[in-house]
Amino acid sequence: MKLAVTPFAVDDIRALTDAGADVFIVGHGTYANRLVRSFDEADIKRACELAHSLGKELIVQVNVIVHNDLLAPLESYLAFIDSIDADGVIFGDLAVYQLARRRGMTNRLFYNPETLNTNYYDPVFWGKQGIQGLFIAKEIPLADMTRIAASSPIKLAIIGHGHLNMFHSRRPLVTNFLEYQGEDYDKYLQARNLRLVEELRDESYPIVQDEHGTHIFRSKPMASFNDLYQLTAHIDLFVIDGMFQNAAYLLDVVRDYRRLLDHEDPEQARTIALRYATTHDTGFLHKPTVYDVDKEGSR
């Protein structure tokens, strides 16, 4: 299993490599949602060259919802990704798949439609389309991941550490609300420090608006230290997402996971997990879904 991480800057790649990262995920804000930072093409090229010089991989995130006016520039952007020999492309819109197929890039693609890859036929189908891998839906519990992985002909990926997105609207909801309140919204959009509090729940949810709309995340980031050794048997790409964090945090997290991967020690995993217990949870890894069935196969 490879550790993938979302660096905040090109210069972070060397330190993250020393900490134990194998793969780096970057993207341009025009073509990707929920980035820790938007990299322009010059920075993406530099990041790819640096990663390759260190014997590591670079994946470009292209998970935007594609509208007609984006098709032509997207085609040029994929040509750029092809020209720098990036190792992968994460996509969610089938327009990206079609354009990548025209360029003979399907073997670099990772399909991540957020919530749709929920069963063991998904990787079988996408394997026939020639893509490199797919992301299992984040709501799928660990027990079901093992069933999906059992017959997968392609690589499987998950976001194993970090904030999970649970809502996306194309509408600029933050701007609309703050304008209604008579507030200056620019400082809030840049700071990314807004949280949404529900009236009936004692939790708050990070909320971000970018050029693609509004995104709401789970109240706590997830961590997978106690489940890492089970995941290594089934997951090829384990993503550590730095959204709402910083470069120092990423270094610490990568070091902790690398330490466990290099020296299998369940007791140490429990010790590390305790350090994150008050600020993180385990996401959906141990939460049954409404689609769970009993032993007889009935709902």
Phi then psi for residue 155, to 5 deg, are -70, 145
Q: How far is CA 55 from CA 17, 21, 50, 87, 153, in A?
A: 9, 11, 9, 12, 25
pLDDT tier at 192 (50, 70, 90 boundaries)?
Answer: confident
Quote the pTM value.
0.93
- Distance in angstroms (rounded) separating the CA atoms of residues 280 and 205: 13
In the chain, where do the E strands start and end?
2-5, 23-26, 57-62, 88-91, 109-111, 133-135, 155-161, 165-169, 195-197, 204-210, 213-217, 237-240
Beta strands in 112-263 (DSSP E): 133-135, 155-161, 165-169, 195-197, 204-210, 213-217, 237-240
Determine the residue type at 123: P
Counting beta carbons within 10 angstroms of the beta carbon of residue 138, is it exposed (0 to 12), middle (13 to 18) or buried (19 or more)?
buried
What CATH code would you report for 2-164+219-276? 3.20.20.70
Q: What local confidence, expressed as pLDDT, does residue 298 receive?
A: 44
Given a cut of 70, whether residue 229 has pLDDT beyond it is yes
Per residue in 193-211, pLDDT (tens digit) is: 889 998 888 889 999 998 8
Please state the φ and ψ torsions of residue 298, each to the nearest 5 degrees. Answer: -95, 155
Query: What are the Cα distances from residue 275, in Å, to 37, 81, 225, 253?
Result: 27, 39, 10, 11
In angstroms, how far is CA 270 from the centroid of its own chain? 24
The ranges assigned to domains in the chain are 2-164+219-276, 169-210
56: confidence class by pLDDT, cuts 50, 70, 90: very high
Residue 295 in this model has a pLDDT that exceeds 60? no
43, pLDDT greater than 80: yes
Is it the case that residue 276 has pLDDT exceeding 60?
yes
Distance CA(22)–CA(189), nearest Å, equals: 32
